[in-house]
A and B are shown apart, each in its own frame.
Chain A
């Protein structure tokens, strides 16, 4: 059974960098059949796919256009986890952030979610 465990701070100051980690158990970040994704949820924007990383003989990354200039998703094979970094945050980035495994055409499972508030 695949489980995802998120960690990271719940409060980030404006203009700083949001950093979250998602630890994987029951699967491998280097899996050839999955992608590892970050999704956020806020009252104003709803659910929003942010990006993913996946391994198919080499590492790939895809990012949503809305955050492409500010986002980095990296795998960490030594710890079997992946991370999200979102730079230059504003209050609009306040949301619950989820990591999830992307299967062929679905997201399952999801991490427990981390409420990140951008405030000074």
Chain B
């Protein structure tokens, strides 16, 4: 069982916006602004989308945005496109010796 809780699946139509939540504790998500989001297409390695809660690496579309409130972080994808269909994972630094914890992943379906 993953340390961070994400919904198993979300869906949306092209052009719509969706939000994926990631719930942890005060020892990880709530305690640090070190939340990341990764996109993973089938058979591929995860790709960094968001770091430090809401920052985007260069080259990542501004349709992807991140935020955090308390122990819950969120990823919003606006203007859904077919190529956004993928699995999305959150991660957070943790004060435990594990250092990094991940969510169980959310499968995004673009209808």
Residues of A within 8 A of B (CB): 46-49, 52, 62, 64-66, 98, 103, 105-113
Contact = CB atoms under 8 A, between A and B. Distances in A.
A113 B105 contact: no
Given A98-B45, A108-B48, A64 B98 contact: yes
A49 B45 contact: no
A111 B99 contact: no
Interface of B: 2, 34, 36, 38, 44-48, 51-52, 57, 89, 91, 93, 97-105
Contacts, number: 58
Given A47-B89, A48-B102, A111 B45 contact: yes
A47 B45 contact: no
A64 B97 CA distance: 7
17 contacts: A46-B102, A46-B104, A47-B105, A49-B99, A98-B45, A98-B46, A106-B51, A106-B52, A107-B38, A107-B46, A108-B47, A108-B48, A108-B51, A109-B47, A109-B48, A110-B45, A110-B47
A105 B99 contact: no
B98 A65 contact: yes
B98 A110 contact: no
Name which of A49, A62, A98 has the most chain B CB atoms within 10 A of its CB: A49
B98 A47 contact: no
Given A46-B105, A47-B102, A110 B93 contact: no
